[in-house]
Amino acid sequence: MKILDIVTSPWAIMPEKLVELQEIYITHLRGEKIDLASVEARLGRPLNNEPRPYEVTDGVAVLAVDGVISKRMNIFQKISGGVSSELVRRDFAAAMADPEVHSIVLYIDSPGGAVDGTQELAREIHAARGQGKNLVAFSDGLMASAAYWIGAQAHRAYISGDTVTVGSIGVVARHIDVSRYEEKIGVKTTEITAGRYKRAASEYEPLTETGRRTIQEMLDHIYGVFLADVARARPQLSIEPVKTGKEETIPWADGRLFLGRQAIEAGLVDGVSTLAAVISDLSTEPSRWLARDAWIRATNCRR
- Considering the domain boundaries, does residue 191 fall inside one? no
- Considering the domain boundaries, does residue 203 fall inside one? no
For residue 155, the enclosing domain spans 5-173+211-301
pLDDT of residue 3: 43
Q: pTM score > 0.85 for this model?
A: no
Give me the CATH number covering residue 296.
Answer: 3.90.226.10
- Considering the domain boundaries, does residue 159 fall inside one? yes
pLDDT digits (tens, 9 = 90+) for 41-86: 655 655 555 544 778 999 999 999 998 898 876 555 555 568 889 9
Domain count, the chain: 1
* pLDDT < 50 regions, the chain: 1-4, 6-7, 51-52, 295, 299-303
- Considering the domain boundaries, does residue 189 fall inside one? no
pLDDT of residue 79: 55
- Alpha carbon distances (Å) from 174 to 7, 29, 219: 6, 16, 11
pLDDT of residue 205: 77
pLDDT of residue 288: 65
Mean pLDDT of the chain: 80
How far apart CA 10 and CA 232 sit, in angstroms, is: 22
